[in-house]
């Protein structure tokens, strides 16, 4: 056992931290988030140049990392900067599925993704599906040498700026069957693909997508027909590690802003940090953040284990980070008082993102239930 | 002990229902029940309808136009109004300033201002908090210096809710720096049109404009606008805050918000089954229902108990704490109920007249924003920490 | 609506409060609880004389009360005194079933119960039944003119000193069917009834009972064959109102002892009540106790409503009193520190009883689940 | 970063398992795993077995007979020992006094006392708390007055765990009343056989005798029994408390208690199904599992991090808080798991040799008593409130 970062990862961490601190102040982040694209293509190019997208892919795929701890180190720092660029959508999710299922031809897209030249998005969740990974009702039926896709996709991150979409659809079985889920890699401008983009409350961009008789060639199918589920599950496990690590960065920023405020804001003639009730609550916040960090380390390190142990660790991390993230966000706002309710102050933007992470790829209740199911399956 | 409504109470409830049925515009209740933003005219319109019926001032003595209702009647009216989708009554003139005027104002002030509150001539806002004086209100710095038959006011107020619509502001100002901080405060009524007043919006974390900063730059206020005595304003301010906290339990509104959550939980599906049948969700929902059911009785019990006046401070603190905690729990669970559809946020969709197709279910648009916006309720009106301090001082002598 | 006590109940409350304060100091209570019977027959006679047992029965049954608010007023005061006499076992439970189902002959026992001359116990719960009201596996089979009972009863309050037992058994259906539950009123010394008494951790007495070919005459059957369930449910609803009211008394004693301690115990040169962290927690304790009290009022007042509304109110009260009782007990101990861990101090005895009430007739989880089921049934 | 055991660590674990398999008496592990009370001989016996193997002193430097294990090895040993049902090692001499002796004791003291701790010649107990000095330890009043080459000690200590078995006590005593309360404290080693010492049992709320009061009435203690310098005892005391807190995380014991809870939850039935399948119960259990899984990593991470020495105070405070909270959650849920069978309490059933049929399931007897007894863990060793104070002072500068 060893709890120190490798030298490479320590360097990566420092580099991202420095870049974000120097180039991504909060006003700039607001400007970027409110732009039409919802992110900055210029920033994206710089991130690519620094190798940050590549850090999320294995050497085999043309990257130089791709392990759980690479994800967690990078996303923690992205969280600290409230970075909105599509690392999750393009690299972890779409890139992750292509990497697992793609043939050589399809995988050639990875080079562009890593270089930042092409953007991809992962159109998987559906309007009635909530967080369930196998809730695919979108259909794909096979004709002579092409497939026809019909259905709807919900809250797809960064789809409205994507060049490529990884779309899941069902060739057999009922919704909630794991078997029968297919994945396709298609250009986002394929006929019949309608994308309606919108902002999210925490400053990201997402889209509703409708697929109306979308015709795609056989060569768009990723992997074997109906066998995409395990790759989807794995990509989302990695996405959850990324989100949990991002939440650690956010929690620590919320903590630091609040500590600073407690030391400087005076009421009743003393800094409010002198009030014992707040001190004790803050001590709880600090203690719990250490717990969340441990859970993320466990999940990142266990990504290579068997499916059940891997998924249990991921669900543990997402549950604890959801619970503790909410505690941190709500306590930080409450201890600040009114100032934390205002747009022009920094804290609420971190708090909003921290809360909304619970709505991506499974909230506290979903992951708790999933953990219980996995435990039961393991015991059986 | 009797938990049932008496025949008179039932008759009153029917009367309220009939009134709401006949007088509350459908267009207005639709807006309220779907979480759309209300305009100034929406709020003022409902105020006028209530005033016409004589049901506006439920906390005033009858001689000034109050309803004369007891605690149970007030609760019935609140429950029914909320359930029907009536907008909340803007409290600044009616529920905050008026009790102070009635108790401490001069006859001239009462005669002039009270009718104008009722008929809508004046829209009041509150000038209490300052950037450096939040929980520690007594540290306020806005100065009022006597100059002949005027005060000259300089300083800044903040968190002025709906100040953008107001033509009047009641202010706590410092008229003396001697003695304890509480001792040099006075209570002034100020016309918002007076030269030297500037109103600047504060945008809240979810992007709305509800509150404002108000700047005073050599603003001349006639001395007859002073309430009571100079330097005694702290007494009046505390009286007002106690009244504010009593209203803040918000049982009726919480019941409606909970009913809306149940409605959503029946429509949302989890693995093809209604979310409300999911054991974890059901448990969270049941907890809130139980808490609110007890809270509703706590509210009536404390408000109607004989010692309610003596213990008004700590009792209303308990109601504030529990009422706001329950409301935040409802907001939190409603947010969760939506799953991924809590994320989309198209601000225009909250304005009446937006006619594009909603993103996700039609009830989704305001939910996350409401959750964030309602973080304020445990902060304002004396934060819940301040309330806990009041309870420990007044009920426990700690 | 009216939240003031009637004059009669206000007098009852005062009388019990005074009697308990004068005659039931804690040392005496320990002595009584540790005696062979686990209660004092002398006290019981005095309670009877004061009319306190009668207060739990209607005039029709020879009492002078019996409504929900009579129960709640009395048990709150019994809670304050940590009274161990068998009000719950003899009057509310056994007496409550007899009152609902008994014929004139059987009901004649009520006079003795009210007068304190005879003691009854309610043998209903079973070793595998947990808190479920219909979990009756004990069988009763009918012969010519008598019944034969076989089975086991668990944690039966005050059975080892009872003269009479109300025993439930099943004549038809499976365990967990409501239909098929019978109740019998039998002498405790009937052949084949084996009673093993023991103390409980909170100072009460309970017993395990085995029924081995117990022969009872037809005349022992309470009410119609197989139709006892509604009366059992009602008796236990009233028992839960009693327990919840008892818990209010306990909570207020814990609160008062703790407040006194906070004002007098000094650490770091000041009374520990000056520490804001404790002040704020204590404010929460006070606020929550008001909530618990409201829930008990609601349950007591709604005992006369339809079954579902009645049972929902009871489950709400038992859930909230369980949650808040635990909060109060644990916070009271923690704020005291070490002294609260000692037998010779008063607080822990109240705290123990407060915690263990959760284990009688349904804990927080049981009643939460029951509430959810009842709500679903109501909505359907 | 690597969460897996290295080959060396795996080999060590196998060695530990083999040792436990061969050396831990079955009669002893049965008692531990079924929650029976241990006798003095039980505890001393296991102490001796460990000492024979050289595995007793895992926190001591090797030169004094320590094991030389790193943080991971210590955790492996703790996990395996707990899982096998080994009794906890009595910490007063080994883990509390010894670090102080090693750091601050004279050579003569080290040479004399350390071997006697290892070989069991001395059973130490702790004389820290007093009736008026609990969380505020520095306010202690037990006086030691110099008289020739002795100190004469008068006063009272309390919460002296297992003092009934001890032949030695280490005490904080007041040797000066000048300066701040912390400044006049000294650290004395006292023989329990000295005339003037009286031990009186304190019975805990569930009826057990674990702790004692110790009275000192003109007790004469040789001056060579002073540790370090007179009036510097507070420094040594704090050093000891930090070590105590580090041990208090109790990850291994918590894992065993959790496994026992899972075991019970599989046997208990709710409507004929195992309790562990009940969604509400499963949720509470999963929460504890998740918390403990993270806690276990927090523990290793903080103990093995390079700055562990610098931050020893606040870090061990976090471990104390979280470790005790998790343990109490386990005790609470175990109690609930039993349903009505949590109530029966036949104290004798907890003594070895009790041979009557159990009331209810055979694992039920100690459960409620354990819940109540373990309320102490958030109080002793510096209450969790004191720990939160340390965190806010040392990590946050508040």
Q: How sure is the predictor about C11, in pLDDT bands with cuts at 50, 70 and 90?
A: very high
**What φ, ψ does residue B395 adopt, rounded to 5°?**
-95, -25
In a mutational test of the D interface, the residue from B280, B281, B284 whose CB has the highest number of chain D CBs within 10 Å is B280
Give the torsion through C-alpha atoms of C206, C212, C217, C219, to 10 deg. Answer: 30
Q: Which residues 288-317 of A are in CB contact (within 8 Å) with D?
A: 290-295, 297-298, 300-302, 316
Determine the length of chain D. Answer: 398
Q: Flag whether pLDDT at B311 surpasses 70.
A: no
CB neighbour list of residue B383: distance below 8 Å, 6 or more residues apart:
A334, A337, B134, B135
CATH class of residue range B250-395? mainly alpha
* 8 Å CB contact of B302 and C290: yes
pLDDT digits (tens, 9 = 90+) for D49-93: 999 999 999 989 999 999 999 888 999 999 999 999 999 999 999
Among all residues of D, which ones are annotated catalytic? 244
Q: What pLDDT is attached to residue D304?
A: 77
Residue of D nearest to A280 (CA): D388
Q: Could you tell me which chain B residue has the CA closest to the CA of C5? A: B1
Pairing mode, strands B269-270 and D168-174: unpaired
8 A C-beta contact, residue C145 and residue C217: yes
Residues of A in contact with D392 (CB under 8 A): 273, 279-280, 282-283
Contact yes or no for A250/A257 (Cβ under 8 A): no
Indicate the average pLDDT of chain D: 93
CB < 8 Å to C268, chain A: none
Phi, psi torsion values for D150, nearest 5 degrees: -130, 160
Q: Nearest CB to B205: which of A128, A135, A352?
A: A352
Residues B370-397 pLDDT 10s: 999 999 999 998 899 999 999 999 888 8
pLDDT at A167 over 50: yes
In chain A, % of residues over pLDDT 70: 100
Q: How much of chain C exceeds pLDDT 90, in percent?
A: 97
Is pLDDT of B310 > 60?
no
Pairing mode of beta strands B143-147, B150-157: antiparallel
Q: CB–CB of B277 and C376 under 8 A?
A: yes
D182 to chain C: closest CA residue: C268
| Catalytic one of B244, B272, B348, B385 | B244
pLDDT at D241 over 80: no
Give whole-number Cα distances, A367 to A301, A313, A376, B358, in Å.
18, 10, 14, 28
Residues A277-297 have pLDDT tens digits of 999 999 999 999 999 999 999
**CATH architecture entry for A7-115:** Orthogonal Bundle (1.10)
Instruction: Report the residue from C128, C206, C269 with minimal CB separation from D343.
Output: C206
Confidence of residue D353 (pLDDT cuts 50, 70, 90): confident
C258 to chain B: closest CA residue: B396
Asked if residue B246 has pLDDT above 60, the reply is no
pTM (two decimals):
0.96
The DSSP annotation for A132-191 comes to -TT----EEEE-SSEEEEEEEEEEEETGGG-SEEEEEEESSS-TT-STTEEEEEEETT-T
**Residue B251 Cα, gap to closest chain D Cα (Å):** 29
Paired strand residues for C161: none
Nearest-CA distance A376 → chain C (Å):
21
Distance CA D398, CA A271 (A): 9
Q: How far is D44 from chain C (nearest CA, A)?
A: 26
User: pLDDT over 90 for what percent of chain D?
Assistant: 84
Which of C277, C279, C281 should be substituted to probe chain A, the one whose Cβ sees the most A Cβ atoms within 10 Å?
C277
| Backbone dihedral angles phi then psi of residue A116, each to the nearest 5 degrees | 85, 0
Which residue is closest to B278 within chain D, CA to CA? D279
Residue A155 has pLDDT above 70, yes or no: yes
User: Could you tell me the fold of the domain covering D7-89?
Assistant: Butyryl-Coa Dehydrogenase, subunit A; domain 1 (1.10.540)
Measured between alpha carbons, how far is A133 from A128 in angstroms, rounded to an integer?
12
Q: pLDDT tens-digit profile of A196-243? A: 999 999 999 999 999 999 999 999 999 999 999 999 999 999 999 999
CATH topology of domain B101-231: Butyryl-CoA Dehydrogenase, subunit A; domain 2 (2.40.110)
Interface-testing mutation among A341, A350, A370, with chain B (most B C-beta atoms within 10 A): A341
Task: Grade residue A340 by pLDDT with cuts at 50, 70 and 90.
Answer: very high
Q: For residue B288, count other CB atoms closer than 10 A to its CB.
A: 21
Q: How far is CA B352 from the centre of its chain?
A: 22
- C287 and chain B: CB distance < 8 Å anywhere? yes
Structural domain A120-226, CATH architecture: Beta Barrel (2.40)
Q: Measure the CA–CA gap between B172 and B157, rounded to whole angstroms.
A: 9
Q: What CATH number labels C230-379? A: 1.20.140.10
pLDDT score recorded for residue D309: 46
A7 DSSP assignment: H
User: What is the three-class DSSP state of B20?
Assistant: helix
Residues of chain C positioned with their CB less than 8 A from the CB of A277: 276-277, 279-280
- What angle (nearest 5°) sits at the alpha carbon of residue C372, between those of residues C367 and C377? 120
User: Mean of the per-residue pLDDT values for chain A?
Assistant: 97
Q: Residue B216: its pLDDT value, please?
A: 98
Number of B/C CB contacts below 8 angstroms equals 118
Q: What would the two tokens of residue A357 be? A: 């992470």
pLDDT at site D5: 93
- Nearest CA distance, D108 vs chain A (angstrom): 39
Chain D residues with beta carbon closer than 8 angstroms to that of B280: 279, 283
Q: Say if residue B346's pLDDT is above 60.
A: yes
Contact A355 B158 (CB under 8 A): no
CA distance A102 to A98: 5
CA dist B46 and B29 (Å) reads 10
Mark yes or no for CB contact B398/C4 under 8 Å: no
Pairing of strands B185-191, B226-227: antiparallel
- From the list D376, D393, D325, D326, the residue with the least C-alpha distance to D129 is D376
CA A177 to chain centre: 24
Alpha carbon of residue D117 to chain centroid: 16
Q: Secondary structure of chain B: what % helix, strand, coil (to 5)?
A: 55, 15, 30
Contact: D205, C128; criterion CB under 8 Å: no
Give the contacts of D71 (CB within 8 A, at least 6 positions apart). Answer: D300, D303, D304
The burial class, CB within 10 Å (0-12 / 13-18 / 19+), for D260 is: middle
A28 touches chain C (CB under 8 A): no
Beta bridge partners of A215: A148
Does the beta-carbon distance from A279 to C280 stay under 8 Å?
Answer: no
How far apart, in whole angstroms, are the C-alpha atoms of residue D51 and residue D67? 11
Q: Predicted confidence band at B315 (pLDDT cuts at 50, 70, 90)?
A: confident
What's the CA gap between A235 and B389, in Å, rounded? 50
Chain D: closest CA distance from residue A279 (Å): 6
**Domain limits, chain D:** 7-89, 101-231, 250-395
Segment C147-196, tens digit of pLDDT: 999 999 999 999 999 999 999 999 999 988 999 999 999 999 999 999 99
Best mutation target, A280, A282, A283, A331, to test chain C (most C CBs within 10 A): A280
So what's the pLDDT on residue D98?
96
**What is the average pLDDT across C310-317?**
98
CB contact (8 A) between residue C198 and residue D344 = yes
Radius of gyration (Cα) for chain A, nearest Å?
21
Q: Where are the domains of chain C?
A: 7-115, 120-226, 230-379
* Angstrom distance (rounded) from CA D96 to CA D138: 18
In the block, residue with structure tokens 């309720």: B377
Average pLDDT in the B274-298 region? 96
Enumerate the residues of chain D whose CB falls inside 8 A of the CB of residue A262.
396, 398
Judging by DSSP bridges, how do beta strands B273-274 and B269-270 pair with one another? antiparallel
Q: B340 pLDDT band (50/70/90 cuts)?
A: very high
Q: Check whether B308 has a pLDDT greater than 60.
A: no
Those of residues 339-368 in A touching chain B at CB distance below 8 A are 340-344, 348-349, 351-352, 355-356, 358-360, 363-365, 368
| pLDDT mean across residues, chain B | 93
pLDDT digits (tens, 9 = 90+) for A77-91: 999 999 999 999 999
* Residue A265 backbone dihedrals phi, psi, to 5 degrees: -70, 125
ipTM for this prediction: 0.96
Q: What is the per-residue pLDDT for C23?
A: 97
Strand spans (E) along C42-175 = 120-123, 139-142, 146-157, 164-170
Name every residue whose Cβ is closer than 8 Å to that of residue B197 and which is 6 or more positions away in sequence. B190, B214, B215, B216, B217, B219
Q: pLDDT grade, residue B71 (50/70/90)?
A: confident
Minimal-distance CA residue of chain B relative to A326: B332
| Position A119 pLDDT exceeds 60 | yes
Minimal C-alpha gap between C327 and chain D (Å): 12
Does the pLDDT at position B355 exceed 90? no
Using one digit for the tens of pLDDT, what is the confidence trace for C50-70? Answer: 999 999 999 999 999 999 999
Q: What backbone torsions phi and psi does residue D375 show, to the nearest 5 degrees?
A: -60, -20
* pLDDT band, residue D306 (cuts 50/70/90): low
């Amino acid at each position: 056992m060893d709890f120190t970062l490798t030298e490479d990862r320590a360097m990566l961490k420092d580099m991202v931290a420095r870049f974000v601190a120097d180039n991504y102040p909060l006003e700039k982040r607001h400007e970027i988030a409110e732009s039409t694209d919802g992110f900055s293509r210029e920033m994206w190019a710089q991130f690519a140049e620094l190798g940050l997208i590549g850090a999320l892919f294995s050497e085999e795929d043309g990257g130089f990392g791709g392990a759980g701890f690479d994800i967690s180190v990078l996303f923690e720092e992205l969280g600290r900067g409230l970075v909105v660029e599509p690392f999750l959508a393009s690299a972890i999710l779409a890139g992750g599925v292509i990497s697992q299922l793609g043939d050589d031809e399809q995988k050639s897209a990875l080079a562009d993704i890593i270089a930042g030249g092409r953007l991809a998005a992962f159109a998987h969740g559906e309007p009635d599906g909530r967080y369930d990974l196998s809730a695919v009702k979108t259909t794909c039926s096979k004709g002579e040498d092409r497939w026809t896709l019909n259905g709807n996709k919900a809250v797809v991150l960064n789809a409205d700026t994507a060049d490529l979409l990884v779309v899941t659809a069902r060739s057999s079985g009922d919704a909630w069957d794991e078997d029968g889920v297919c994945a396709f890699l298609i250009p986002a401008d394929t006929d019949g693909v309608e994308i309606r983009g919108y902002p999210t409350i925490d400053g990201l961009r997402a889209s509703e997508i409708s697929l109306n008789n979308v015709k795609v060639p056989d060569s768009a199918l990723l992997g074997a027909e109906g066998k995409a589920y395990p790759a989807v599950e794995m990509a989302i496990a990695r996405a959850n590690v990324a989100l949990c690590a991002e939440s650690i960065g956010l929690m620590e920023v919320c903590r630091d802003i609040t500590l600073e405020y407690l030391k400087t804001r005076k009421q009743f003639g003393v800094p409010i940090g002198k009030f014992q009730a707040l001190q004790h609550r803050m001590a709880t916040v600090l203690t719990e953040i250490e717990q969340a960090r441990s859970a993320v380390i466990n999940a990142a390190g266990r990504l290579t284990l068997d499916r059940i142990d891997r998924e249990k660790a991921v669900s543990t991390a997402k549950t604890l980070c959801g619970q503790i993230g909410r505690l941190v966000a709500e306590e930080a706002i409450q201890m600040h008082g009114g100032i934390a309710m205002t747009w022009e102050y920094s804290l609420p933007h971190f708090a909003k993102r921290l809360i909304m992470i619970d709505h991506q790829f499974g909230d506290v209740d979903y992951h708790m239930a999933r953990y219980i199911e996995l435990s039961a399956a393991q015991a059986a | 002990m009797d938990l049932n409504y008496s025949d008179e109470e039932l008759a009153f409830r029917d009367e309220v229902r009939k009134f709401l049925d006949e007088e509350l515009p459908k267009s207005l209740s639709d807006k309220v029940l779907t979480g759309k933003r209300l305009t100034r005219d929406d709020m003022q319109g409902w105020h006028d309808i209530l005033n016409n019926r004589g049901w506006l001032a439920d906390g005033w003595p009858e001689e000034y136009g109050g309803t004369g209702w007891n605690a149970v009647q007030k609760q019935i009216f609140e429950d029914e109004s909320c359930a029907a989708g009536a907008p909340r009554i803007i409290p600044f003139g009616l529920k905050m300033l008026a009790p102070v005027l009635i108790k401490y104002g001069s006859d001239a002030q009462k005669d002039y201002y009270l009718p104008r509150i009722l008929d809508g001539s004046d829209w009041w806002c509150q000038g209490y908090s300052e950037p450096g004086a939040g929980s520690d209100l007594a540290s306020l710095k806005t100065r009022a210096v006597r100059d002949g038959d005027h005060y000259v006011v300089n300083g800044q107020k903040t968190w002025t809710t709906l100040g953008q619509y107001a033509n009047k502001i009641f202010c706590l100002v410092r008229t003396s720096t001697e003695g304890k901080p509480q001792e040099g405060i006075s209570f002034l009524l100020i016309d918002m049109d007076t030269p030297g007043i500037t109103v600047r919006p504060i945008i809240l974390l979810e992007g709305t404009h509800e509150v404002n900063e108000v700047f005073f730059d050599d603003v001349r206020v006639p001395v007859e606008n002073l309430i009571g005595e100079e330097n005694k304003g702290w007494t009046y301010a505390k009286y007002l805050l106690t009244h504010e906290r009593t209203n803040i339990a918000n049982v009726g509104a919480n019941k409606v918000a909970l009913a809306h959550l149940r409605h959503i939980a029946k429509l949302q599906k989890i693995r093809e089954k209604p979310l409300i049948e999911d054991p974890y969700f059901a448990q969270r929902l049941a907890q809130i229902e139980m808490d609110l059911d007890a809270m509703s009785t706590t509210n009536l019990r404390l408000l109607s108990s004989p010692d309610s006046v003596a213990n008004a401070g700590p009792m209303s603190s308990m109601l504030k704490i529990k009422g706001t905690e329950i409301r935040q729990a409802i907001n939190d669970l409603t947010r969760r109920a939506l799953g991924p559809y809590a994320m989309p946020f198209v601000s225009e969709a909250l304005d009446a007249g937006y006619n594009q197709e909603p993103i996700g279910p039609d009830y989704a648009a305001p939910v996350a924003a409401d959750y964030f916006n309602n973080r304020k309720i445990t902060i304002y009106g004396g934060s819940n920490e301040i309330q806990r301090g009041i309870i420990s001082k007044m009920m426990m002598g700690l």
